[in-house]
Structures are given as structure tokens and as C-alpha cells.
């Protein structure tokens, strides 16, 4: 109706306060470490400590386990703001959520009490072990086995593309407990790399982007875990993995939004200062059109991501579609925006004197991990076409 107020269609004061706090920490304590982390391919420990002190390293952990109890939207905002400064550091809260989400969804209370408080306090990080050398998008092809041993289990196998492997202490590991049963024969377990014998790591992958976040293989050589390490029920691991990704694809969308926002800000600053042919680049219509498209795509991605985060918090029936849509759209937008940002800087965009080339390299992985964007389109299509 004319005159009706639409003030409610904005972030509330609490979420805005989260953004302000996360942006300040990211600008002051994370951004200064970003270039070095990329150059050396070393985990940005100083950034981690800054996020830990600010309680932004795992904001999603519920208060009953010592965490801040941030909802899905607040967590997405934290990841967005940290990724705006450093995409590799944005994976600290994102991967902590990915690794712990199976416990939050299906873990026993004793399991949560044992493994969530160390993550909340910053004593440990938590990673997620699903992919394997021959089982990426085809999860059912995994060969890692969990064989009953007395009242416990013995795990053997190799996991690949594990984010923050070697830095994290805890791992949610998916393994086959009933060979030949396909997706119904997969179960989930928690592994403690410090205390469970037989856990090893491969050499860090030499990557295009997010170099400050180590990616390694995880080796499980006769790792014995007790019955209390089972997450959920036997044979329910695949469903749990997919439920987890419904929630955490929102965090990758948030990371992509953050990378794109950082690129747009850097490019905008450059074109307003740089002069050619007697005019600022920002005064040229061709440049203005590029910037307008970048801003439009960024805001569309942000709004879709926030809508998906709200559905994640409420566990809505359409979360699967929105999680896939947000991840797919935001990462595609981030790739386009960072590429255009490099273009706006001309030759400088291709140098390490400016952060745009790093942001463009970082953006690419958001189109690939937690399910390639081709897989996301399959997920969305199935949701749209299934019988109602």
C-alpha cells in the first residue's frame, strides 16, 4: 500500500552489529595477512588468533557448548566480511561449521559435549572428510571402510581435497560400513588426529587460490574409534552428508559474496582515482556500466544468500533448492565480478601490487567445492521438477 513502511526488509540491529564487528576485525587484523598467506601458502595463524579473540572463528557453535550461538544469517555475515579481506581466512569459520554440522544435526549429546567446546574455545578446528581420489561428486563410489571391531570400528582409506587438513584436530569422516549397499551403506564418524593412532596427512596441494588454507589428503591407517564416535545411525551417513551440505552451501555463497564485495570495493577505489585522457576512469560510461553490472550482481547474490541463510536457520522444506541456488549464483557472480575488477585495473589488475588477481583466483574455487555448480544445477532441477 502507498506509504507503507518497508523498514523491516533490512538487517536488524543485532545482525548489523555482527557485520560491523566482523568488518573491523577483518580490516584491522585479517587483511594485513592476506597477501603473505597467499604468497607463502601458509595458514594465516595471526588471522585465526584475531578471529578467535573476537569469537568469530566458529560463531555458529551453540551457547550450551561454549559458543556464541550465532544464527545462520549471522554466521554467513561473518564469513562474508572475513572473506572480503581474505578468502582463505573466511574458510576458518566456514569449515568449522562444515565439520561440526553433522554433530549438530545428528550427534549424540555426549559426542557434542566432547567435541564442540574445544572448537568454541579455539583450542581445535574441525574439518569434513567426504571426497576421495575416485569419489568426488560421485559420493557413493567411496572406498574408505569402517569395519566393526568389538564394540568399536576400524577405519582405513584416503580422503582427498580436505580443507584445513593438518591444521584441524577433529575430522568428520564418512566411510562405508556396508559394502554393496550404495548410499545406504555409508556412516559418519569423528576422528581426533591428536589422539587416534593411524591418522596421517599428505603434502599440501599446490593450488590456484585460497593458498592460505591448506588442502591435503587425510590417511586413515587402521584408525580405531569407539562406538561413541558414530555420528547418527549406522547407514545414515550419506543422508547426513547431504543434509549438512544443504546448510553449508550457504557459507560458500557467503564466501563468494565477500570475495566479490572486496573486489568491487577495490576496483571502485581505483577507477575513482585513476585518470586517463584527462578524465577519471569513473567518469567514462563504459566503466560506469561495468561497475553497475558488478554491483547489481553482487547485491542479487547477497540477497539470495541471506534468504538461503534464513531458510537454513528455520530448516525450511525448500532449503535444498535455496542452498544450491545461493551457492551457484553467488559463486558465478563472484567469478564474473572479480574478472571484471581485474579488467578495470588494466595491467595493474594482473599484478600482485593490487589484491584483484588474488581475489579472482580465490573466487574460482567457490564454483567447484561443496559441489560443482553443474551439480548444483542438477540439485535445483530435481527440486523444481519433483512431484508435488
CATH number of the domain to which 177 belongs: 2.40.110.10
Cα dihedral: 212, 165, 260, 273 (round 10): -10
Domain holding 257: CATH number?
1.20.140.10
* CB 22 within 8 Å of CB 56: yes
User: Does 131 share its domain with 22?
Assistant: no
| Tens of each residue's pLDDT in the chain, 388 residues | 334 444 446 889 999 999 999 999 999 999 999 999 999 999 999 999 999 999 999 999 999 999 999 999 999 999 999 999 999 999 999 999 999 999 999 999 999 999 999 999 999 999 999 999 999 999 999 999 999 999 999 999 999 999 999 999 999 999 999 999 999 999 999 999 999 999 999 999 999 999 999 999 999 999 999 999 999 999 999 999 999 999 999 999 999 999 999 999 999 999 999 999 899 999 999 999 999 999 999 999 999 999 999 999 999 999 999 999 999 999 999 999 999 999 999 999 999 999 999 999 999 999 999 999 999 999 999 999 998 7
The grid cell for 218 is: 587425510
User: Does 62 share its domain with 166?
Assistant: no
User: Does 251 share its domain with 364?
Assistant: yes
Domain that includes residue 288, residue range: 244-385
The grid cell for 63 is: 551457547
Pairing verdict, β 230-231 and 215-225:
unpaired
User: Does 68 share its domain with 134?
Assistant: no
Spatial separation of the C-alpha atoms in residues 149 and 136, rounded to whole Å: 28
Spatial separation of the C-alpha atoms in residues 80 and 261, rounded to whole Å: 9
Cross-strand bridge partners of residue 317: none
Q: What is the pLDDT at residue 10?
A: 82
Q: What is the pLDDT at residue 387?
A: 87
Q: What is the pLDDT at residue 9?
A: 67
User: Does 319 share its domain with 354?
Assistant: yes
Spatial separation of the C-alpha atoms in residues 12 and 20, rounded to whole Å: 12
- Give the domain-ending residue among 121, 139, 155: 121
Q: Tell me which residues are annotated as active site.
A: 370
User: Does 177 share its domain with 269?
Assistant: no
Nearest to 129 by CA among 83, 164, 92: 164
Spatial separation of the C-alpha atoms in residues 343 and 127, rounded to whole Å: 36
Q: What is the pLDDT at residue 2?
A: 39
Q: What is the pLDDT at residue 5?
A: 41
User: Does 151 share its domain with 265?
Assistant: no
* CB 248 within 8 Å of CB 98: yes
Nearest to 239 by CA among 178, 186, 161: 186
Does residue 8 belong to any structural domain of this protein? no
Spatial separation of the C-alpha atoms in residues 101 and 246, rounded to whole Å: 10
User: Does 144 share its domain with 85?
Assistant: no
User: Does 203 share its domain with 227?
Assistant: yes
- Give the domain-ending residue among 104, 121, 138: 121
Overall domain count for the chain: 3
Reduce the secondary structure of the chain to three states and give it as a string. Answer: CCCCCCCCCCCCHHHHHHHHHHHHHHHHHHHHHHHHHHHHCCCCHHHHHHHHHCCCCCCCCCHHHCCCCCCHHHHHHHHHHHHHHCHHHHHHHHHHHHHHHHHHHHCCHHHHHHHHHHHHHCCCCEEEECCECCECCCHHHCCCEEEEECCEEEEEEEEEEEECCCCCCEEEEEEECCCCCHHHHEEEEEEECCCCCCEEECCCCCCCCCCCCCEEEEEEEEEEECHHHEECCCCCHHHHHHHHHHHHHHHHHHHHHHHHHHHHHHHHHHHHHCEECCEEHHHCHHHHHHHHHHHHHHHHHHHHHHHHHHHHHHCCCCHHHHHHHHHHHHHHHHHHHHHHHHHHCHHHHHCCCCCHHHHHHHHHHCCCCCCCHHHHHHHHHHHHHCCC
Spatial separation of the C-alpha atoms in residues 86 and 48, rounded to whole Å: 11
Cα dihedral: 192, 196, 199, 204 (round 10): 40
User: Does 215 share its domain with 280?
Assistant: no
Rg (CA), the chain: 21
- Give the domain-ending residue among 205, 238, 271: 238
Spatial separation of the C-alpha atoms in residues 206 and 18, rounded to whole Å: 34
The grid cell for 163 is: 580443507
Pairing verdict, β 126-129 and 170-176:
parallel
User: Does 285 share its domain with 355?
Assistant: yes
Spatial separation of the C-alpha atoms in residues 53 and 29, rounded to whole Å: 11
Polymer length of the chain: 388
Amino acid at each position: 500500500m502507498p506509504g507503507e513502511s518497508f523498514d523491516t526488509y533490512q538487517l536488524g540491529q543485532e545482525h548489523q552489529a555482527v557485520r560491523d564487528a566482523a568488518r573491523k576485525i577483518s580490516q584491522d587484523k585479517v587483511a594485513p595477512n592476506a597477501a603473505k598467506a597467499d604468497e607463502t601458502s601458509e595458514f594465516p595463524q595471526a588471522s585465526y588468533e584475531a578471529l578467535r579473540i573476537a569469537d568469530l572463528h566458529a560463531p555458529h557453535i551453540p551457547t550450551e557448548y561454549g559458543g556464541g550461538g550465532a544464527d545462520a544469517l549471522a554466521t554467513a555475515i561473518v564469513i562474508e566480511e572475513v572473506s572480503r579481506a581474505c578468502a582463505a581466512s573466511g574458510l576458518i569459520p566456514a569449515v568449522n561449521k562444515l565439520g561440526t554440522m553433522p554433530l549438530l544435526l545428528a550427534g549424540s549429546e555426549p559426542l557434542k559435549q566432547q567435541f564442540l567446546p574445544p572448537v568454541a574455545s579455539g583450542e581445535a578446528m574441525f574439518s569434513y572428510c567426504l571426497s576421495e581420489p575416485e569419489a568426488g561428486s560421485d559420493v557413493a563410489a567411496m572406498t574408505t571402510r569402517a569395519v566393526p571391531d568389538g564394540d568399536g570400528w576400524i577405519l582405513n582409506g584416503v580422503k582427498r581435497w580436505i580443507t584445513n587438513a593438518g591444521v584441524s584436530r577433529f575430522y568428520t569422516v564418512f566411510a562405508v560400513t556396508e559394502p554393496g549397499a550404495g548410499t545406504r551403506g555409508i556412516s559418519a564418524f569423528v576422528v581426533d588426529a591428536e589422539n587416534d593412532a593411524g591418522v596421517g596427512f599428505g603434502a599440501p596441494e599446490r593450488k590456484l587460490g585460497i593458498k592460505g588454507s591448506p588442502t591435503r589428503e587425510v590417511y586413515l591407517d587402521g584408525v580405531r574409534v569407539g562406538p561413541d564416535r558414530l555420528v547418527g545411525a549406522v547407514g545414515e551417513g550419506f543422508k547426513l552428508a547431504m543434509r549438512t551440505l544443504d546448510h553449508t552451501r550457504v557459507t560458500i555463497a557467503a564466501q563468494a559474496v565477500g570475495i566479490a564485495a572486496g573486489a568491487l570495493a577495490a576496483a571502485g577505489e581505483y577507477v575513482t582515482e585513476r585518470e586517463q585522457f584527462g578524465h577519471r576512469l569513473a567518469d567514462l560510461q563504459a566503466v560506469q556500466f561495468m561497475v553497475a553490472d558488478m554491483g547489481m550482481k553482487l547485491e542479487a547474490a547477497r540477497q539470495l544468500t541471506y534468504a538461503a541463510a534464513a531458510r537454513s536457520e528455520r530448516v525450511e522444506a525448500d532449503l535444498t533448492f535455496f542452498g544450491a541456488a545461493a551457492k551457484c549464483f553467488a559463486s558465478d557472480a563472484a567469478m564474473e565480478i572479480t574478472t571484471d575488477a581485474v579488467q578495470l585495473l588494466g595491467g595493474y589488475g594482473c599484478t600482485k601490487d593490487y589484491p584483484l588477481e588474488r581475489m579472482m583466483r580465490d573466487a574460482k574455487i567457490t564454483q567447484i567445492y561443496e559441489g560443482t555448480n553443474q551439480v548444483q544445477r542438477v540439485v535445483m532441477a530435481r527440486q523444481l521438477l519433483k512431484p508435488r
